[in-house]
Structure 1
């Protein structure tokens, strides 16, 4: 866990791992969409602009989704209204839900493509592998930041997080770990909480005690998600080069992402919103927000797969997408 990778030389400006990974993910995905757009005979600059729109709307949607999913973390009475609002806006702390970003970025980017007269299904196919590639870097950022951690485990590759990390705070709140008394403080309401990391760092005794503390061992769920996203990006890119009905690459992304995210969610710790323990449809197994969305994603992908195939076989439509652009679309060099 390294939220701050380094400081810019001769300055006190920190470079945050999460933010750097977001930038690298955007740059990598832009390169991929430009390559696929040129291959399809489309203007790559339209997709660069579309990628920027997707980035901004995606971050907004992902942050709002994370806040709603974990609203108790942003309604701390000890912080007050202003303090909670600052926490909501603090992207440096991590906390972006992929599905929330996708649900907002998809219609916004689709509208932009429609305005630019991009063949929408082909445009969706071009964006699909890039979405997964950007997620690769996003999950590395999560790992560096310590957010989106996994469930407790005892596997050889388990990881643990330092004092005052998200995992440590949650494990303390659940009564699973007990810090030394020196690292505890009593609040005005009589409850006990742990001393913030910045305060502990200013006291040599507390700093030494905090350095010995860590969370329980957990799954490196962020790295599982990273490898999953990398594999999906490769599969979708390969499928893009094969003859297929336009739109089916995007549909395949929905299907595969829905399946894999549902399975990976079993190795994470998220509150139940449906099924046992949620107060809703208690006869069902406990399912988190992301599990529910994964099911919707899978079903939506199946529907799109067959709908796009039937549409392409209808009179007046090609059954396959063009794989190689015309010479005039390739540009010089």
Structure 2
């Protein structure tokens, strides 16, 4: 009987193995759960162009914006796991939405197959140059002397920037008010203009204003220094021991249950695409550091680990989903 079951299992695998060997046989749809022109869309279009070459089939970008990326993500989560419907997503919000909304119709880990991290975007803490602090330790002392008087701007609710700010508050005991914006650009404009004294924003976006002297850079939020500014310390190195938020990523995912061979075909195509100097330049312009050797296993660890980390931050901050 056991031999019969094994034979039946092997027989059932034949169609999926065959499909994986010939993949892709038709155009591939890459869903972007944001509007045209944003960071994820910019990356998706650049990657889709290169993947069309490496896969030998057209990769079509399909923008399905709405509900803070939930509409497009749900579409992919419910699709057949055959590799023909993929998701180019940002994390956050992918890995933080359940902490801010009670109505997320999918599990960000269990309902998806991680394929490849395309790149990561280091986040940085800056202050307006008018603030009388030169480093993080001076800032913490300044903030503690003025509880509730300072505010920090970010690209929005549920961003890694907001959660980084909440983690900093919990780790240091300072009291700052979060000011969420609808995107990084308006937040940056107000921090540069002094309307908001503190910003937690994408490193590449703040660097020109740091060089001009309008902003002062206190450190990066991730565990390691950024390739784009290796002289800038992490916040842990600058004085908050153990501080780090997970990498902010842009990555390619598919529905849960994709065949391993199809995942590897896509991963290999992504790695070839990322070797292109043109694509590297476009990713850098969008604020991302290129992932040199994309690995589904590494992506899966980052995704699951970041959800756990953000869950802890949210719990400490007392944030409740709405």
Q: Which has the higher contact order (CA 8 A, sep 6+)?
A: 2
Q: Rg larger in 1 or in 2?
A: 1
Q: Which has the higher strand share?
A: 2
- TM-score, normalization by structure 1: 0.28
Write 1 or 2 for the structure with the bigger share of helix: 1
